[in-house]
Structure 1
């Protein structure tokens, strides 16, 4: 049994256990629903009978019935919370299984953002949107965590030490399955309350909101003094000792309060909007605070802001208490009485403003660490679910150029269909020219190489048994398309793309360019395509870069005769029992066969004499 198969079976067993537990809990919850009704009806009946017998017995029975009913309700709600937690845990494990088997239907919805049409490789390598590498990797619950991972894929690191540091963090996180899943569970509970992917925009908007505390403290002191005088005079008046002098001081109190009414006019709206958001992130931060990090020194360093003396959960609990007090505006009678007696709203407006100043310095850092951790956990989860993948060896900038790969495969191709290949590039300035028939695997191989390079420079494991590579920038020309909106034909769009690629190759940059070009100049006639392709490939050879070009033009393989830095490779096909078959194995040397006419003939199209 392979390590992948063992992982799949372990997940299947875990999912089955969770299914059984959830079923038992739901059955118990179903029984409790009837028990609540029974306890309520019985309590009403017994209380009615007790009041008919004796008043004191009636009151005791009423209190007892309410206590029993409240206990049953509390336990039922507690049970429902456990059902929610186990259901989320179950969904997490199902998603893990789906990531291993590429079952896209059981993955969470992909982050939808428009692709950058001029990006060097985003569209060509299927990095974003549905059924993409980002969709496969993305376990982040926070919107900002998901976009952080997306940004890492679209803008790989170019600093060797930064890559190795991130890779070390991902290695450290990989075996910490419970830590990652509990972090995701806490975040999903938050997102479940919000009924969407969690976003920090409401918190940031609150932090960025202007706070006018200038002069508020003296006013608050004056109002507190007036409040004390009012209460004293009111008590003395009620006792018949003094006339109603408190009416005069009360009017002064109201006048002074009115001068700062604008400061607490939106207090209730701000407080209620913020309260639930703080509750949500508090569960996430509590997990990071209480986790035992042990020997995981890099993870501990990343989470250091959560481990200080004044921990986030303590700060957020203080804010939550202030918010709860401020939210009394929802009860107009109690709110009116308190504000008439003491400067209630103004006091909590001041306290909330003070804490906002404190949190504006700390909360952004806590959120950034959480988002960073979510992106890292996505890469670590990818490594954990694919134990047969390996972490690449990235060579430092001062080391000789190297590109050596063994067992290179594409992570978005199902394991049952995947064929892995070895591939090497000898030196900077070299070009690999791949020929082969339609559907033989040329384009897929280009994407395989590109995707694994992006994973390597992101700090993730690669779909290979070994990958040793120098630092490279990536630029591709694979999925070129015309643009009706811009009035570009297919050929003109391809020319523009290849021009941008050549400019990137010739730009002064310390890191060589790695380029991938599929079917060069396919948008024009055969004669001009051949002439243009020969000239363009010659322009690439010997420059500050390396790359792979796939083509149907067998005439191009002759370029290797007078260009020693060009090396030919090919994929083969065979016709077996009237069907085209491919083994998707990369072989050295040029292709000796074509299959376009064979495919046409097999599909019943006329092909003429050949």
Structure 2
């Protein structure tokens, strides 16, 4: 694995290479554009100027072939230029992640925000400055949804976690493959909103064409044949006319039914081609991990070819946007009937596999998100999960070395060791304002989210049980719902107890417990919550400014633990080391901060409090 300096140099070099390549391609495109205009002008001008010289007219007309060739070349260059631009964007984002400048990434997954979820809103999993925004490289709707689900619900069981870790480690070494896969999937997020409609079409029980309908498919051949025979005998003109009238009637009788069936593929031409390209890229990827082998396995063999074939059929759907052409094609060729027949034939052969093909793309995109995280953060580790039958209750917990918040830059974050967060225990975190209490809870939470999603964690080592996470860290009032901040917090903590599961170990994070009420009620409420959590199948980490709660250590002995953060106030101001220390905080800084912002603290107020 490369270090940060080497990664920065690598992505900078790749970015520069694609920028240079794009400049070169644009220069070529400009010359081709000029030649295209010149060839057309020479062709048209030559045919008029040399109209009396047949050989020169043919020579001039041949320049139209050159013009057509240059049109295709221009289109090819345009695609290559766009591809370079996408590669530039991918490497620029990798650079931004290395430099801690990823907060402006456009895709932050805000549509996945759920304020009633157990932890995602409290831990900034989605939205501004979120985990999704930092790590997502999935582009398809299904790939993004897969990542969102992994971050919200985690993976089920030890086997799934192991398989995803193996897949991520394998794809991490395939940087070029991953970047090209991201480029191929780039446009799949914009035009595949109709996937559910496509799935429904693929599953439906389509009617077979009747013998009469199948015979109608050959009628256009007879019509075209009769048209050719007009030059032999004029009587065939009448035959052609009656055949066209018959085909027009068939078209009108079936038009609505066929249009409804074809509408499933509205705007899907080209999009299916992109799916085919993504599947082909997967087919050409040599993998050994079980998860990726299964996704690209025998059941999906040849998927790209079949989707490409469907795309070629669907291409004819677009003629309906030209009414005159649409009517002509249906009267002459029975185009809709031909199209529906081919679509139904494809659906019967391959429709059952569409969801598994899209799922294969999502599986690779999910693995690529985790692989990217692993590749760009080589100092992180993959966690080790402890099974219940392999350890004592005390070991089925959370033990970390060098744990830090993954979204804080490497230069700014402070790593801490945190061990013996055992089932049935409560760890109380005290400390002055801005000393690191809330950040510690978020650090624990976000790393558990990554671990449960099969990803690496920001730590030197992390051993943990299979933990079901719950966080109550952000409570806001709502005028519309007539709900205060304190009542919102009560509802969150109530959901903690409603959500307790005897079959799952809970990790519960509560920041500033009951901070919205008076000290007496806060103390009584906090003690009651702590007592209940100790009796549950849970690990709890709770922060507070109320030092009286820390005295519970003498009551609960080994099940209750005090840790704290401290600050230093001297003539140079206030500073923090953000390091965890055992015991209860012995200093406060609220009055100092009040003075710092200009609030005058009177001697009378101090004396009244001391008395």
User: What TM-score does the superposition give when structure 2 sets the normalisation length?
Assistant: 0.89
Q: Is the 8 A contact 1:407 1:466 kept in 2?
A: yes
Kept in 2, the 8 Å contact 1:271–1:323? The answer is: yes
SS at match of 1:128: coil
Which one is further off, 339-348 or 437-446? Answer: 339-348
Q: After the TM superposition, which of the residue ranges 168-177 and 532-541 deviates more from structure 2?
A: 532-541
1:539 aligns with 2:532: yes
1:119 and 1:265 map into 2 onto residues whose CA distance is 42
Q: 2:172 aligns with which of 171, 174, 179?
A: 174
* Kept after mapping to 2: 8 A contact 1:267/1:345: no
Counterpart for residue 282 of structure 2: 288
State the partner residue of 1:183.
Answer: 181
CA offsets 1:279-336 (integer angstroms, 9 cap, x no match): 22122122112x141544542222115752xx12222232233334555556777766
**Counterparts of 1:214 and 1:306, CA distance in 2:** 26
Counterparts of residues 117-132 of structure 1 (less than 5 Å): 117-132=115-130
The residue that corresponds to 1:496 in the other structure is 491
Question: 1:380 matched to which residue of 2?
Answer: 371
CA contact (8 A) 1:474 1:515 kept: yes
Change in CA separation of 1:220 and 1:568 when aligned onto 2, cut-off 3 Å = same
1:12 equivalent to 2:22? Answer no
Answering whether residue 271 of structure 2 is matched by residue 277 of structure 1, we say: yes
- Is the CA contact 1:137–1:382 (under 8 Å) kept in the aligned structure 2? yes
Indicate conservation of the 8 Å contact 1:127/1:133, yes or no.
Answer: yes
CA–CA separation in structure 1 for the residues paired with 2:489 and 2:112? 21
Shift of 1:463: 0.2
Of residues 82, 91, 103, the one that matches 2:101 is 103
- Could you say what the CA RMSD is over the residues aligned between the two structures, in angstroms? 3.0
Q: In structure 2, do the counterparts of structure 1 residues 130 and 603 end up closer, same or farther at CA, with 3 Å as the change threshold? A: closer
Distance in 2 (alpha carbons) for counterparts of 1:333 and 1:409: 65
Which shows bigger deviation, 268-277 or 121-130?
268-277
Q: Following superposition of structure 1 onto structure 2, how do residues 52-201 of structure 1 map, counting pairs within 5 Å?
A: 54-104=52-102, 107-113=105-111, 115-188=113-186, 190-191=187-188, 197-201=189-193
Deviation, 1:566, is 0.9
| Cα shift at 1:433 | 1.1
Aligned residues: 597
> Unaligned regions of 5+ residues in structure 1, if any?
192-196
Deviation at 1:90, TM superposition (A): 0.8
- Contact preservation (8 Å) 1:144, 1:200: no
Q: Give the 3 Å change call, closer, same or farther, for CA 273–217 of structure 1 in structure 2.
A: farther
- Please name the residue that 1:358 is paired with: 349
Deviation at 1:605, TM superposition (A): 1.6
Q: Gaps spanning 5+ residues in structure 2: where?
A: 607-611
Deviations 1:378-411 (A, max 9, x none): 1111111111100000111212224210110001
Q: Are 1:430 and 2:431 counterparts? A: no
SS at match of 2:111: coil
- Cα distance in 2 for partners of 1:248, 1:68 equals 42
What is the distance in 2 between the residues matched to 1:222 and 1:178?
Answer: 52
Deviation at residue 515 of structure 1 after TM alignment: 1.0
* 2:312 alignment partner, one of 317, 321, 332: 321
| Further displaced range: 570-579 or 234-243 | 234-243
- Superposition TM-score, scaled by structure 1 size: 0.89
Q: Compared with structure 1, are the counterparts of its residues 40 and 481 closer, same or farther at alpha carbon in structure 2 (3 Å cutoff)?
A: same
SS at match of 2:108: coil
Instruction: Specify which of 356, 359, 366 is matched with residue 368 of structure 1.
Output: 359
Name the CA distance, whole Å, in 2 between partners of 1:146 and 1:472: 24
1:462 is the counterpart of 2:457: yes
- 1:515 is aligned to 508
